[in-house]
Structure 1
C-alpha cells in the first residue's frame, strides 16, 4: 500500500472514530483517541481537510459528545484543503440554536466561521440565517463575533428600522463599542437617513483580528496545495462590490488599506441598479431624481441633466470625471455647501491638524485631486483657500511643494490686504531665505496666480451674481473691494520683491527668465485679457534688467517696453471710442510720465551713448556730480559703457560682428556708431529681436539728435482722458 493510501486510510479512520462515538470518552490515557486527534491535526497542517471531513467534524465538535479540550483541538484543526462547504457553516448556526455546545465552544465556532469565511463556496443559504444570527446579539460574550459576521453578510434588504433601533439602544446600554459601531456603519452606507451619528474616526479597526496566526496557517496550507490565498475575492472586496454594484468603486481595494493611502470616499448611493424603484408620487408631481450610481456615460448625463441625485459621499466628486461635469453646472446650493464642508474638514484634518504627517500619501492624494478639480473648473475652491492660508503660515517650503504652488495659483480674487496676509507674506518670508531655484518657483507661481486673476477671476468679478451667471460654481467673495486695486497692488508688491532679489542674486539667468515671463504678462494685460487698464511695474526693476549681463534679458526687456506702448495706445483708442470709462487720476499721470521717462532712458543708453545724466532727476540713471568734474566726465567713455556696442551683455557679439565684417585692424570705436542699423540686423540674426523692435518703435530714422518730443511713447496728453482712478495707485 502506498504512503498516500495509508495517509488517506489514516485520516478516514480518524474521522470515522469520532463520528461513530456515541458517548463521551476519557481523554487521558485513551491512546486511540489521541491517535485519531493527532492524525487529524497532522493532516490538516500538511494538506488540509476535505469538505466531507470538515462537515463531519463540525458536527462532532458542536455536539458536545467529546470533552471540551478535544472539541477545541478539532475546531482548530478544521483547515480546508480547497473550499468549505456552506453546509458546514449552516451546521454551526444550527448547533448554536440547540445550546448543546458550551459557550466557549460556541465562540470558537464563530471565530472559525470568520477565519474561513472567504473560503465558503456559496453564501446564499448562510445569508438566509441573518435574522437568526441577529438574535444572538443578546448574548454579550458572543456579540463581537456576531457583529463581525453580520457585517460581512449585510445587504441592503437586511437594514430594517427595528434592527437600527435595537443596535442604538444596545450601544447606549453597553457604552461605545467598536463592533456595534462597525455594524451601524455598514447600515449607514445603505441608509444614511436611518443612522445619523456613527463615529468612524475613533477606531482604527471595528473588528480586530484575534486569530491572525490561525488565518495565516489556513493561507499557508492553501498555497502548499497550489491554490491562491483566496478563492475568488476577499470578503472586503466582496463587500465593496455589494456597495458598488455598478463597478464604480476604485480598484475594489480593501477598504482599510485604501483608507490608509486615499482619504477620498468611494461613490455610495442609496440605490443600486437592481433595486431602483421610481417614486410614483414624486414623478406625478414632476419631481424626478435619478441616483448617480445609475449614470454610466455622458449620454446618461445629458438625458437626466436636471434630475441627477448626488451620492451620499459628496467628496467622491474628486474621483469621478462624470460627476465633475455634473458638479460644474449644478445649481444645487446644498450640494455645493456639502462639498465645501467636506473639503474644509478633510483638508484641515489631513494637512493642518496632523502635526507629524505620518502618512503623507493621503495628503498628497487629496491635494493632487483638489488641484485637478480646480483646473477642471478653472476656478478656485474657497474652502481650499481658507485652509491653505492657515497652512502657509507654518509651511516649511518643502512639503507638498509642487502641488501647493498649483493650488496657490488657483486662489480667488481677494482684496490685497487679504491676499497679502494669506499668501504673499508667507511666501515672501520663504522667498528671501531660500535658494535661487525656490525663488524661481515662487515667481512662476505668482505669475500663474496673476494670469488666473486676469483670465478667470476678473470676468467673474464683473458679474452682479456669480452663481446665476453660470461663470462659477461657488458663491461670490463676501468682502467688498476694488478688483482693479487688488490687481495693481499685487503687481506692485511682486515687482518690488523681485527687485530686491535681483540685487541679492545678481544676474542669475534662470531667475531673470522667470522674471521676464512675469513682465511679459503684466505688460500685455489689456491686449491679452481685455483689462481696461495698464499696470507699470517698478521702474527700477526694468533698469536692473537693462544692465543685465545676459543678452536675452536685455532683448526681452526692450520687447516689454514695446508691449507697454502697444497696450497704452489700445487703451487710449478704447477710451476715445467709449469702450472704456474715462476717469482722471493724478497717479495715472505719474505712471505715464514714468513710462515715457523709461523710454527716454532706454533710448539714451542704448542708442545715443549717453546713459547717465546729472540734469534730469527723473532718469533712472541720474547721479549727482560736481561742476569741476563735469568736463572730465564728458570726455570719458563711461556713458558709452551701456551702449549698443559696449554693453557687457552685447560686447561678445560686437567683437564677432567686427570680425565677421572684416573691418580694418585699426578701426576706432567711433566708426562703429555709423553701423548701428547693420549691427541690429546682426543681432536679429542671433534671435535678439527685442532691440531692433524697440529702436523701430521709438527712434525715427535720420534724426540728428534725440529729444523728448521725438520719443514715440505715450503722450502725457492722455492724462486728460484717464480711466479708473484706482488703476495706477502705487
Structure 2
C-alpha cells in the first residue's frame, strides 16, 4: 500500500529472506507475493527459492499469485525455469486500492504545501518536494536547490533552517549549483535579495531566453510561455520585484497571448515592473500590453485600471524607500505625472462606458492612492509635480447616485487642496517653486472647489458668476431646460435649481440630512436635549430649508438655525464614516474653518 512512498525501497531487500519464508502463511500470501514481485532483483533469485515456489504452487493448485511471482523470477533466469509451471493463469500485481493511493497522494501534497507555506515561504528552509525537482505548470522543470562542490568552511543553503542560521551564515553560504532555482525557492530568493548576485540574474535570463528560443524554433508549444508566467508570477510576488531582463520575455509573450487566459496572473505579474521612464516603458511594453488586453469590453478596461493602480502602488513603495537625492535623480518626477495623466484618460473613458458604482469606486481607488500616498508625503511631494484628475471626471463622479462615491471624491479633493497648500507655503517641508504644469492646473482645481461648494453648501449650483466657477461644465442651454423642468414639477417655485443638489435636497445626502433632524426631534421628545423651553409640538416634514426652519419654530417645532443645522449634518456624516464632504467643507469654507477651530 505504501511502497511508492518509501524514500529508499532498497531497505526492503534486507528483509527479503524473512518475507519469502512467510509465503507458506496462506492468510498473507497474496500481499507477500505482491511485495516480493516489487522488490525482487537478480541477486534474490536462488534455486532453492524457485523450488519452494514450485512446491507451494503444486500444493495450492497453481495459485495465480505464486504464478505471477514465478514469472518475475523467470524474467531474470528464463533458461532455468522451464516447463509449464509459469505458463498458467497469473495475477497482475496492481495497487490494491488506487482510490486510497490517490487520496493519500492528495493528503501528502496538501501537507507539503502547508509546510512550505508555514516554514518555507514564511520561514527559512529550502523547498524539497520529496527530493524531486520543482515542477511548474504543465511540467516545466525548475531545478531544486542543490549545492555541489561546497568548501569545508562554507555553509550550504540546504543547511539553513531558521532566520538565526541565515543571519549568522549569510556571508558564508554557498550559492546553489543551479541558480535558476530562485524562481521557485523562497529561501534562495531571500538570499539573493540580501546578497545580490549579477550572475544569478544572468542565469535566470539565460533560462528564460532558452525557453523563448524553444518556442521560436518550434521545439515547444507557444502555450509554454503562458505556463512560464505562472512561475514568474510566483517569483515576482515573493520578491516584490520583476527584473528588467524579463521585459524581453513579456514582449515575446504578448505576441502569442490572447488577452484572456490567466489575465489576472499576467496583470499581477506586470504590476511588479521596476520604476523606470514611463514613456519608454509604454512604447516597449505597455502599449502592446494594452492592445492585447483591451477587447472593447468594460471588463478589460477595468483590468487595465487595476493594473495601473497596482503598478503605481509598487512604484510608490519604491519611492518611499529612497532618499531625497536618489529620488530627485530617478525617473519618478517624470514617470509618475505621465502615468497619472495616462490613467486620467483611461478613467474618463471607463466612467462613460461603464457608469456604475463599482466602476466609480475602482476609479477612486487609483486617485485615493495618488492623493494619500504620494501627494500626502512631503518627501515625495517635494520632487513630484501635482497632477489633478480631468474636470469632466470630477463632475461625473460628483453627480453619482452613491454617497460613498461622493464622500470619497470630496475627501480626495480635500487631500489635493492640502497638497497645494503644502507646496506653496514657504515654511512647509515640501515647499518648492511650482512646476510649469502645476501653474496651468491651479485655476482648474480652484474651479472644482468653487463648483462643489456652490452645489453642496451655497445653494448656487451651476453658477458661473463667481470667481473660478465653471458651473460644473453644464451647458447654459441644459441649465435652462432644468429650470423649466423644475417649474413644471414645483409650480409654486419652492424648489429651485441652485439648491436642488444641496445637503437637504441632494439624492445622496437627503436621507442623512433628514435623519439628523429626526434624531434631534426624538431626543427632544425623550427629554435628552433642551432646545426649547416650551416642548416639541410639531415635526419637520422635510426637506429642510432656511425658510422651513424659521416656520417650524413658529409652529412649536425645533428652534435651530440654518447654520447650526448644516454644521450638524456635517457632524452626522462624520460620525457615520462619510468624512469626505465634511472634510472638503472644513478645508474650503472660511466660516466653517473658524467655527471648527
- The 8 Å contact of residues 523 and 535 in structure 1, kept in 2 or not, is answered as no
Between the aligned partners of 2:542 and 2:326, the Cα distance in structure 1 is 72
Structure 1 position 395 matched with structure 2 position 257: yes
Question: Which residue, out of 51, 61, 65, partners 1:46?
Answer: 65
- The 8 Å contact of residues 134 and 142 in structure 2, kept in 1 or not, is answered as no
Aligned twin of 1:592: 442
User: Where in structure 2 are the equivalents of 1:22-421 lying within 5 Å?
Assistant: 45-48=64-67, 54=73, 61=79, 220-221=92-93, 250-252=128-130, 260-271=138-149, 278=152, 289-346=154-211, 357=223, 362-363=227-228, 365-375=230-240, 379-392=241-254, 394-421=256-283
Question: Which residue, out of 485, 488, 505, partners 2:354?
Answer: 505
Displacement of 1:455 in angstroms is 1.7
Change (3 A) 1:650 1:429: farther
Question: Which residue, out of 552, 556, 562, partners 2:404?
Answer: 552
Displacement of 1:219 in angstroms is 9.2
Displacement of 1:699 in angstroms is 0.9
| Structure 1 residue matching 2:344: 3-state secondary structure | helix
Displacement of 1:554 in angstroms is 0.9
Between the aligned partners of 2:449 and 2:368, the Cα distance in structure 1 is 17
Deviations 1:206-229 (A, max 9, x none): xxxxxxxxxxx9993375799x99
User: Where in structure 2 are the equivalents of 1:482-521 lying within 5 Å?
Assistant: 482-506=331-355, 508-521=356-369
> Which piece of structure 1 moves more, 665-674 or 317-326?
665-674
What TM-score, normalized to structure 2? 0.65
Question: Which residue, out of 470, 478, 481, partners 1:619?
Answer: 470
- The 8 Å contact of residues 498 and 541 in structure 1, kept in 2 or not, is answered as yes
Change (3 A) 1:369 1:345: farther
Change (3 A) 1:357 1:78: farther
Change (3 A) 1:346 1:290: farther
- The 8 Å contact of residues 298 and 322 in structure 1, kept in 2 or not, is answered as no
- Structure 2's unaligned 5+ residue stretches are 1-23, 30-45, 102-124, 488-492, 522-537, 550-561
Displacement of 1:314 in angstroms is 1.0
Structure 1 position 643 matched with structure 2 position 465: no
| Structure 2 residue matching 1:621: 3-state secondary structure | helix
Larger Rg: 1
Change (3 A) 1:548 1:249: closer
Aligned twin of 2:315: 453
Aligned twin of 1:108: none
Between the aligned partners of 1:268 and 1:313, the Cα distance in structure 2 is 7
Deviations 1:333-386 (A, max 9, x none): 2223223333454478689986563897x54641442233333xxx33223333
- The 8 Å contact of residues 279 and 338 in structure 2, kept in 1 or not, is answered as no
User: Where in structure 2 are the equivalents of 1:564-713 lying within 5 Å?
Assistant: 564-573=416-425, 576=427, 582-583=432-433, 585-615=435-465, 619=470, 621-623=472-474, 625=476, 637-654=496-513, 656=515, 661=521, 663-665=539-541, 669-671=545-547, 674=562, 675-701=565-591
Between the aligned partners of 1:302 and 1:388, the Cα distance in structure 2 is 35
What TM-score, normalized to structure 1? 0.55
Displacement of 1:300 in angstroms is 3.8
Change (3 A) 1:268 1:433: same
Change (3 A) 1:51 1:698: same
Greater length-normalized contact order (CA 8 Å, ≥ 6 residues apart):
1
Between the aligned partners of 2:474 and 2:323, the Cα distance in structure 1 is 45
- The 8 Å contact of residues 271 and 308 in structure 2, kept in 1 or not, is answered as yes
Change (3 A) 1:429 1:248: closer
Between the aligned partners of 2:190 and 2:134, the Cα distance in structure 1 is 29
- Structure 1's unaligned 5+ residue stretches are 8-14, 21-34, 63-69, 80-216, 230-246, 279-287, 466-479, 704-709, 711-730
Aligned twin of 1:726: none
Change (3 A) 1:432 1:649: farther
**Matched residue count:** 479
Between the aligned partners of 1:587 and 1:328, the Cα distance in structure 2 is 38
| Structure 2 residue matching 1:642: 3-state secondary structure | coil
Change (3 A) 1:499 1:672: farther
RMSD in angstroms over aligned alpha carbons? 5.0
Between the aligned partners of 2:191 and 2:148, the Cα distance in structure 1 is 18
Change (3 A) 1:369 1:688: closer
- The 8 Å contact of residues 436 and 511 in structure 1, kept in 2 or not, is answered as no
